[in-house]
Structure 1
Amino acid sequence: MAGTPGRVPVKLSLLTMTTMVIGTMVGAGVFTLPQRFAAATGVSGALIAWAVAGFGTLMLALMFQALGNRKPHLDAGIYAYAKAGFGEYLGFFSAFGYWATTCVGNVSFWVLIMSTMGGLFPALGEGDTVLAVILSSAGLWGFYLLVRQGVKEAAAINRIVTIAKLVPIIVFIVIVLFYVDPQVFVGNMAGASGLPLFDQVKETMLVMVFVFLGVEGASMYSRHARRREDVGRATVLGYLSVFAIFASVTMVSYGVMPAAEMAELRQPSMAGVLESVVGGWGSAFVSVGLIVSILGAYLAWTLIAAELLFVASKDHDMPRFLGRQSDRDVPTTALLTTSVLTQAMLLVVLVSADAVNFMVDLTSALSLIPFLFAAGYLLKIAALRDGYTEAQERRRELALGVLATAYVVFLLFAAGLTFVLVSSIIYAPASILFVMVRREQGRRWFSPRELVILAVSLTAAVVGAVGVATGWLTI
């Protein structure tokens, strides 16, 4: 249990925390970028989209760095910031929502692995068959047993895997760059979607959120940092490294295939792009790299998910049973609960029309509320001069808060009504856990303000459920 006398806390170095940020960001998303971008936009739209998402995500990375330095006592960053800024109930929603984000994201990882293997074994389909779900479930529980061995061991494995999985992605960029045809690149300038340019850019935003999820990874594991300032440094270093890689994968792909053909590629589309220039071995090479990459990301996300539930329980914002910890620094009950929800979401794959893209987009949509609260918290403390002694520093962080908040609001608009309502179906039932916490504390279940929030979340969930049941919303 936490607080056991004589136990030495696990402390992570700047290198390990940076690789955790990279490890959480470089997962399934990068391997889907060529097809997702080609289906939405051309070179012009892609350049604008990367500029918008790159700048917006940089604002988020700097926001987490600022909050880490400004409020060093707040552990499990994205959840703690929401609670400190907007109260216990919205803090609870942020904790649950981010946790659900990690679970759904982990499902997308398994689906993409099985879709990749489906090219060799048709019984796996595109990751959405019964056999694929069974094999994914076996992998899920195998990782559960691995993480049970200890946080330090799992983090060390993640550092090794992170370095290993970058190799095939960088090799892809270098090889494809040599085959870039300027005429093909120019021919893809407008793209093949036929949408207005603004809509083209908007269509790329959810996948952008997905590929950049993890930029907050260091802040989520801040209680294990050797030095508090390493949290912000790891966040920015990890982001800059990954941005360069992701943008390169997208743009070089436009130089070797017409956008219309690339839009029809099977996921992982990076495999199809490389195969088009070097033959069958290119597809196999990318496929192996994808599996290594995803397994590393899965490990990092599982660590973060369990850590979030554990810290929320210790802060009395999740039920007590989630705060149990082994003598190897593993939040055991939180880890088990994470694996159970991931398993449940795997079953949704069987009824989804497009399992990979649906899980990617749902993951992104679920994450936006926690990001909005975190950005809003920086905006709030800067506006109220909370803890600031230098006017210039306050103005800088106020501008940062405004830009980060505006970017997340734009992402909510880009997500569209469907994913906002489907996300509400997942968010609303979580209030049962909130009631459990209040009962453990002998407190009133909801304050008048919290009842308003509850009513809004339940209404959105009912509308979403009816929409899915009637076919108005499709998954």
Structure 2
Amino acid sequence: MSTETETAAAARKLPLPTLTAMVVGSMVGAGVFSLPRNFAQATGVWGAVVAWVVAGFGMLMLAFVFQLLAVRRPGLNAGVYAYAKAGFGEFPGFLSAFGYWASACVGNVSYWVLIKSTLGGVVPGFGEGNTLLAVGISAIGVWAFHAMIMRGVREAAAINKIVTVAKLIPILLFVVILAVSLRGGVFAGNLWGGGHSSAGALFEQVKATMLVTVFVFLGVEGASVYSRYARRRQDVGRATVLGFLSVLALFASVSVLSYGVLPQEELAGIRQPSMAGVLESVVGPWGSAFIGAGLIISVLGAYLAWTLMAAEVLYVAAKDDDMPAFLKRDNGRDTPVAALLLTSGLITAVLAITLFSDDAFAFTLKLCSSLSLVPYLLAAAYALKISRVPDRGRDLLVAGLAVVYTAFLIFAAGLKFLLLSCVIYAPGMILFVLTRRERGRPAFSPGELVLAAVILIGAVAGVVALATRLITI
């Protein structure tokens, strides 16, 4: 490669501010605008504080895990997927890639649902975001973004950096206004969720918030997914931690300060996006419109970032021969066209499913979080595996705590979302079988066959539970 070509390639790489913006842009999306209601339905002030301490500490350990993996294993790109494969083999690596991709797609559906729910206050036909009109308009939006991303990953990343700055303004203003308007009596009345002050009740309340906190922190690994675009490898870890600490402070402020404005029962009943209703109660109708506009900018920016990440995972997996060869196709602009097409297709399909959901936003939020847990657990477990050597005591502690935290999240998610995750994983295994056939290998090894059977059994149980209404969406 010539010096001029190398210089041009380096110039196209993403610097630390852009990588950090990708992390922040990935996390600051639909979740933050729904925090007041979601937390109030589960707990009071003390429970919220404990939940953010637990989630903040646990996710910080995960952020450190991605930082240390970026340093210790610089040759592994696409983060979550690559770590699972390196640590535990091809099939767990495939499941991590597929689960992460599916989680991103389901999360993107929640964005469209929340946008249309916000507009539903003005256009009744949009309802709570899952009416036929809302789904149809959202599908058009999905393919409009698809066309924009086709122009190139770096152009889309530049747009995301601008959007990230713009969408933070209404959220920061919300925090300032609530801090000034906080009423001590209301805040004190919301200290204990439901009036119960026992340790057991507090534990159950905190557990009930865990999938919500996972959802808002999804994207903490954003810089590691884009590691092949980083100008300097050490910027991957720095962007991860900087982005995480910024949004942790923001999310905790939004949820806790809301308890100082309205009683918990009123917070729990506010229409989503609940931040809009909270601000309206303080400053009047303009507050709701202001937050609504900020939400649309924020969610569209997060949608862009998550679509990029989802397609990137499929593309890199295919380049490593862990997904079917057709997913390697790009358009000459470094955009993975086949992976992007599959991504937009799944998003559209899940949008159609929301027509049959009683609470489409809550359902997609929790399913998105559940699907992300296996990839996170495998990444943390891989970090634990490579840290079990002399002079790596700090890395071992960080990875161990991250494993404990992600295992607790799976417990908190419950059986319902574990079975629903299996329903999604099961058909995805077809891609794994196709990949093995392309390489002239058996579909599964004996050990892989056992794992595949467990997933299929879980999927069958999930379908039966849906059919008999033991599980509802």
User: For this structure pair, what is the TM-score category when the shorter chain's length is used for normalisation?
Assistant: over 0.9
2:282 alignment partner in structure 1? 277
> How far 1:196 sits from its partner (Å)?
1.1
Does residue 296 (structure 1) correspond to residue 301 (structure 2)? The answer is yes
2:395 alignment partner in structure 1? 397
Structure 1 distance, partners of 2:213, 2:34, is 11
Residue 309 of structure 2 aligns with an amino acid whose one-letter code is I
Q: Does the 8 Å contact 1:39/1:193 carry over to 2? A: no
2:127 alignment partner in structure 1? 125
2:413 alignment partner in structure 1? 415
Does residue 27 (structure 1) correspond to residue 32 (structure 2)? The answer is no
Structure 2 distance, partners of 1:334, 1:239, is 28
1:92 alignment partner in structure 2? 94
1:185-204 correspondence runs (5 A): 185-192=187-194, 196-204=201-209
> How far 1:428 sits from its partner (Å)?
1.1
What are the Cα deviations for residues 89-132 of structure 1, in whole angstroms up to 9, with x where unaligned?
00000000000000000000000000000011111000010000
2:180 alignment partner in structure 1? 178
What are the Cα deviations for residues 323-353 of structure 1, in whole angstroms up to 9, with x where unaligned?
1112111111111110000000101100111
1:219 alignment partner in structure 2? 224
Q: Does the 8 Å contact 1:38/1:192 carry over to 2? A: no
1:75 alignment partner in structure 2? 77
> How far 1:8 sits from its partner (Å)?
4.0
Structure 1 distance, partners of 2:469, 2:304, is 35
Q: Does the 8 Å contact 1:41/1:193 carry over to 2? A: no
Partner of 2:194, secondary structure, is: coil
Structure 2 distance, partners of 1:225, 1:35, is 37
Structure 1 distance, partners of 2:26, 2:9, is 26
Tell me which of 419, 432, 435 is aligned to 1:434.
Answer: 432
Does residue 466 (structure 1) correspond to residue 458 (structure 2)? The answer is no
1:450 alignment partner in structure 2? 448
Does residue 259 (structure 1) correspond to residue 264 (structure 2)? The answer is yes
Residue 432 of structure 1 aligns with an amino acid whose one-letter code is I
Does residue 166 (structure 1) correspond to residue 164 (structure 2)? The answer is no
Q: Does the 8 Å contact 1:40/1:193 carry over to 2? A: no
Q: Does the 8 Å contact 1:124/1:131 carry over to 2? A: yes
1:388 alignment partner in structure 2? none
Structure 1 distance, partners of 2:193, 2:402, is 29
1:17 alignment partner in structure 2? 19
Counting aligned pairs with the same residue, the percent is 61
Residue 126 of structure 2 aligns with an amino acid whose one-letter code is L
Residue 121 of structure 2 aligns with an amino acid whose one-letter code is G
Structure 2 distance, partners of 1:196, 1:244, is 26
Residue 445 of structure 1 aligns with an amino acid whose one-letter code is A
Residue 145 of structure 1 aligns with an amino acid whose one-letter code is A
2:248 alignment partner in structure 1? 243
Q: Which runs of 5+ in 2 are unaligned?
A: none
Number of matched pairs: 464
Indicate the RMSD between aligned Cα atoms, in angstroms.
1.2
2:351 alignment partner in structure 1? 346
The structure 1 segments of at least 4 consecutive aligned residues displaced by more than 6 Å after TM superposition are: none
What are the Cα deviations for residues 409-448 of structure 1, in whole angstroms up to 9, with x where unaligned?
0000110110111011001111100010001001111110
Q: Does the 8 Å contact 1:42/1:259 carry over to 2? A: yes
Could you tell me the TM-score, scaled by structure 2's length? Answer: 0.97
1:40 alignment partner in structure 2? 42
2:114 alignment partner in structure 1? 112
Structure 2 distance, partners of 1:218, 1:270, is 28
Structure 2 distance, partners of 1:403, 1:310, is 31
1:311 alignment partner in structure 2? 316
> How far 1:193 sits from its partner (Å)?
7.6
Residue 36 of structure 2 aligns with an amino acid whose one-letter code is P
Partner of 1:443, secondary structure, is: coil
2:51 alignment partner in structure 1? 49
Structure 1 distance, partners of 2:276, 2:266, is 14
What are the Cα deviations for residues 45-98 of structure 1, in whole angstroms up to 9, with x where unaligned?
011001000000000000000000000000001000000001000000000000
Partner of 2:281, secondary structure, is: helix
Partner of 1:207, secondary structure, is: helix
